[in-house]
Structure 1
Amino acid sequence: MKIVLMALLFISFNGYAQLSSDQEIPPPAFSVEAASQTLQETVLKIWYDFIGHTPYIVVAISVLLLTGISSMLISKLIGNMTGRSKMRGSLRELTQRFARIIIWLFGILLASLIVFPGLTPAKALGGLGLASVAIGFAFKEIFENFFAGILLLWKYPFEKGDFIKCQAILGRVENISVRMTELRQPDGELVVVPNSFLFKNPVFVLTHENSRRMQIMTGVAYSEDAQAALPIIKKAVERCELIVKEKGVEVFLNGFGSSSMDIEVTWWADPTPLGERKSRSEVVGAIKQALDDAGIEIPFPYRTLTFSEPLPVRSVDNNKPSQ
């Protein structure tokens, strides 16, 4: 049997070699019908696969809908639970956002596993890790503002409605998100500040307390009794309505000015920019009125001129007729 098979193979090989030596085998001709048939079969296969996966897609969409509903309910539940406590508003909002993010990540992962049955949690997390590295390099500043916003919501002492000052920016906090903070300036303009800017620079929270210390400089002439002016100024400021009387008024001699004895006046008032302007206006008016009533001069700037040579003096007789 082996000998017969070997003989048949030998005869076939000799015949193919003879045919190849006698004529060339033409290449197969391109068929449009075959290509169309192949394309049609491919499209139909994709469509049938889609129809076959439709139940999985419907279930995945249902899972995403349930995820969104669960996210809203749990966020509302956390807000109600933390609203009864003394937790800061920004920290409560951050807790709600973290809860929503965790729920959505879990829901998206579960929906992906349903649509792609061959996908495992380990593969999904591995792909997510590689994608996060690439996205992190591409959107470095966005993620920097994101994490700065989380830290601002977590530990910074200002809330919505507070007036803050950072470098040349002064305004009332209207909204704190995980990427930016909206500030309304006293002139009404809205400033959108990246959270990384607030995190990297000193921030002055003007309304952290119910009152803030104000200060102005005034002065009396050198010819006046400066010590006698101090109680007059203090009583005048204490009679003002917009100051915080419980914290008192302080008046000190501050130094020797170019034209007057400088006097420092400090008091406490409403910390907002508008409250500061109103209080300052009232205090300045009270000090001016009190010194005027006491006959104490608030001097204009004096200038003393010194000449290197004596100036010639000429008398003029106004009764002498002009020629």
Structure 2
Amino acid sequence: MLFEQSRPTIRTHLVFCVWVLICLLCSVGVLSAQDETPTAEEVAAEVTGAETDDSAKDVQIADEVQVEPVNSDEKIEKRLTEIMRATGWFTDPEVKVDRGVAFLSGTVDTKAHREWAEATAIKTSDVVAVVNRLSVAEPPLWNFAPAIASLKQLGREATGVLPLVIVGIAVTVLFYMLAIAGARMTRWLSRNRIDSALLRQVVGNVVGVLIFIIGIYIALRVSGLTRLAVTVLGGTGLVGLALGFAFRDIAENYLASILLSLNHPFRVGDLIEVEGAKGFVRKVTTRGTVLNTLEGNQIQMPNSTVYKGKIINYTATPLSRQDFAIGIGFEDSIAEAQEIVMEVLTEHVGVVSDPAPIAIVESLGSATVNLRVYYWFDQTSHSPLKVSSSVIRLVKQRLTDAEITMPDEARELVFPQGVPVQLMERSSNENEGSLAGLGAVNGTLNGRAKNKQETKPAREPETSVGEGDLKPEQDDVLRATEDDETVDDEANLIA
């Protein structure tokens, strides 16, 4: 945010503000200088005391015509010629006077100086009329004199406003520091009244921005730019409205982050699912929500999508229910199978007794009776994947030990009453051989059955090497992704 940046960023912002202020002051100074710089016509008017007019005629009338002139024509010619040469504005000036009528000829640099010469001649004593034959010199195509003059004028104006600029910069820097201090003080005072870190940050930034805007206004007023200061304050609302339309998505995500920090739909470390994305909450910033999936990948979702979407929080409550299906044979006892399953669930360390687990008959398949088993476990201390693996493994082993079949309805056919065998009549030798063969087969089968009854199956452990300690994967996922540098760029807004 504006007042939570590092020191190099603060210096960059400060230099940028100073540069903008200097440009504004210089531009306004140049404009005022151009408005106040008198034109050549005005200079001529001040010198001669006469008003200039673009439609001035070559012949002017004297204010008073004396009947008996005091000065001779030669004196008037000499005096006017000396005046025109002294100015340096004329090239080869020539003045002829005949009975008080002055004829001006030659070349002059500007039109204003031409009119000035005419006005000066008519004001000369004993001159009754002026015939202005002065021609204005054509300006060169590459004339840098006006540009140089403008630069000099700009330099003089800039030098004149330099003290005001220095004072304005000092005021700006002072209020920038006050804005930072005010923002920090506001966050510190609201730490016990506002629980949301993001809301405290927003309130502090608002206070800091207001202080800084006031400082800019005072700096402009001190610099003599009152009109510009009023324009800045008046345009603040318009600029905010324009930025709101331009950065609508960014503003929407920012507001959504504030609402998320206030409503607390989840916390850091919770396993949530939003719009098909499932993972542990790592951080919520002003731009988006960062999730770490069970595969160790990172998902960054816009806060607006999270706030408006359907959020499934798997760790909002400590207890969670799992289920799995079992298919037993038609000839097996359903009640016995249910009892065995309930014994496994009651003895398992990861299954809680309240709410109690249940094992119900779900459906009748083509070759099996399908049972559905439900149980509850504490997900804050146990992993759903590991507990499910352990429970299913133990149930399968107990059912096998109890000689309850779990046939595959797709590949196995069960004959509960056995398969009838009919012996064909043969010769005595063949019958004796067949009976001997059947006796051998029966002996082998009886031996295997006897060995099976004598060999007791090993009891399955409650946890295996593959399942580990049944602890949840939250710590493993967060530890595996703790080196992600992109997550640490911005402060976390939720706890």
Both proteins in one fold, TM over 0.5 = yes
* Partner residue, 1:49: 161
Q: Offset at 1:148?
A: 2.0
Contact preservation (8 Å) 2:319, 2:379: yes
Aligned partner of residue 349 in structure 2, secondary structure? coil
Measure, in 1, the Cα distance between the counterparts of 2:261 and 2:136: 76
Distance change (3 Å), C-alpha of 1:38 and 1:119: closer
* Partner residue, 1:93: 197
* Partner residue, 1:40: 152
Contact preservation (8 Å) 1:164, 1:204: yes
In the alignment, structure 1 residue 172 sits paired with structure 2 residue 280:
yes
Q: Offset at 1:47?
A: 4.7
Output the amino acid matched with 1:49: V
Output the amino acid matched with 1:213: R
Quote the RMSD (CA, aligned, Å). 3.4
Where structure 1 has 5 or more consecutive residues not aligned to the other structure, the ranges are 1-8, 306-314
* Partner residue, 1:244: 352
TM-score (norm 1): 0.78
* Partner residue, 1:15: 59
Contact preservation (8 Å) 2:220, 2:229: no
Q: Offset at 1:121?
A: 8.6
Q: Offset at 1:107?
A: 1.9
Q: Which of structure 1's runs of 4+ aligned residues deviate more than 4 A?
A: 16-25, 119-125
Aligned partner of residue 299 in structure 1, secondary structure? coil
Contact preservation (8 Å) 2:328, 2:406: yes
Q: Offset at 1:286?
A: 1.8
Contact preservation (8 Å) 1:75, 1:100: yes
1:103 to 199, 202, 207: 207
**Deviation digits for residues 77-124 of structure 1 (CA, Å, limit 9, x no counterpart):** 433x25xxxx8xxx5213212222222221221221122112699754
Contact preservation (8 Å) 1:229, 1:296: yes
* Partner residue, 1:146: 254
Aligned partner of residue 325 in structure 2, secondary structure? strand
Measure, in 1, the Cα distance between the counterparts of 2:404 and 2:243: 71
Q: Offset at 1:259?
A: 3.3
Structure 1 range deviating more: 220-229 or 32-41: 32-41
Distance change (3 Å), C-alpha of 1:279 and 1:115: same
**Deviation digits for residues 4-28 of structure 1 (CA, Å, limit 9, x no counterpart):** xxxxx9xx84616998998684366
* Partner residue, 2:335: 227
Output the amino acid matched with 1:108: F
* Partner residue, 1:4: none
| Number of aligned residues | 291
Output the amino acid matched with 2:197: E
Output the amino acid matched with 1:15: V
Distance change (3 Å), C-alpha of 1:297 and 1:65: same
Q: Offset at 1:296?
A: 1.0
1:209 to 317, 330, 335: 317
* Partner residue, 2:289: 181
**Deviation digits for residues 117-168 of structure 1 (CA, Å, limit 9, x no counterpart):** 1269975454122112222232222222222222222224211121111132
Measure, in 2, the Cα distance between the counterparts of 1:246 and 1:231: 18
Output the amino acid matched with 2:356: G
Q: Offset at 1:237?
A: 1.1
1:26 to 116, 119, 136: 136
Measure, in 2, the Cα distance between the counterparts of 1:217 and 1:196: 39
Distance change (3 Å), C-alpha of 1:142 and 1:274: farther
Distance change (3 Å), C-alpha of 1:161 and 1:27: farther
Contact preservation (8 Å) 1:144, 1:196: yes
Distance change (3 Å), C-alpha of 1:14 and 1:248: same
Measure, in 1, the Cα distance between the counterparts of 2:380 and 2:232: 52
Distance change (3 Å), C-alpha of 1:32 and 1:251: same
Distance change (3 Å), C-alpha of 1:242 and 1:289: same
Q: Offset at 1:275?
A: 0.9
Aligned partner of residue 183 in structure 1, secondary structure? strand
Distance change (3 Å), C-alpha of 1:213 and 1:297: same
Percent same amino acid among aligned pairs?
A: 22
Contact preservation (8 Å) 1:164, 1:171: yes
Aligned partner of residue 245 in structure 1, secondary structure? coil
Contact preservation (8 Å) 1:113, 1:119: no
Where structure 2 has 5 or more consecutive residues not aligned to the other structure, the ranges are 1-52, 62-102, 105-113, 115-130, 414-423, 425-432, 434-495
Distance change (3 Å), C-alpha of 1:38 and 1:124: closer
* Partner residue, 2:460: none
Q: Offset at 1:183?
A: 0.7
Aligned partner of residue 300 in structure 2, secondary structure? strand
Output the amino acid matched with 1:128: T
Q: Offset at 1:56?
A: 2.6
Output the amino acid matched with 2:398: A
Output the amino acid matched with 1:67: A
